[in-house]
Amino acid sequence: MEAEVRETWQDGVDACLDTVGLAAGALVCVRDGGAFVTTVPWAVPDAARGIVPGTVQVQPDAGATAELAESVAAGVLTVRIAETLPLERFRDAYTHLKSGGLRGKVVLTP
């Protein structure tokens, strides 16, 4: 991942919001002195190169979720889907997420 990021941003990106728990694997993509925040409390990497990682907690918000869904439906917001699985295969979905390397979200369907 670092090599791919640095092909476009040689010095690294200014900031990273890690929503999947990549931790140090994503921190290496941030420029010295940049910003790093994760939504995964157990995946906060150690401070390095002037970057002091932080964490944020999110709470369910039905209204905001509806707005996001409307934006997706209208084509304003695109979501990269890596895989779609039936709900009964949620364990497979979790295994794929945990192994990393996915380029997109895993969607569970009824």
pLDDT tens digits along 7-20: 888 888 999 999 88
Tens digits of residue pLDDT in 67-76: 989 998 999 9
**78 and 51 in a common domain:** no
**82 and 40 in a common domain:** no
**18 and 50 in a common domain:** yes
Domain count, the chain: 2
**85 and 47 in a common domain:** no
Nearest CA to 46 out of 31, 22, 27 is that of 27
Nearest CA to 25 out of 65, 60, 53, 61 is that of 53
**7 and 41 in a common domain:** yes
Confidence of residue 110 (pLDDT cuts 50, 70, 90): confident
Question: What pTM does this model have?
Answer: 0.55
| Domain around 8 | 2-55
Q: 43 is written with which tokens?
A: 């995946």
**6 and 37 in a common domain:** yes
**34 and 14 in a common domain:** yes
